[in-house]
Amino acid sequence: MPKARVLIRPKEGILDPQGKAVERALPALGFEGVEHVRVGRMVELEAEDPAQLPALCEKLLANPLIEDFEIEEINAASSAPTNP
Which residues form the interface with another protein (CB under 8 A)? 14-15, 17-18, 21, 41, 60-61, 63, 65-66
Q: How far is the CB of 72 from another protein (least distance, A)?
A: 19
CB atoms within 10 A of CB 1: 9
Closer to another protein by CB, 25 or 34: give it.
25
Q: Please state the closest distance from residue 78 (CB atom) to another protein, in A.
A: 26
Could you give the C-alpha distances from 82 to 19, 45, 69, in angstroms and in order?
Answer: 24, 18, 23
Smallest separation (angstroms) from another protein to the CB of 6: 11
| Rounded CA separation 39/61 (Å) | 15
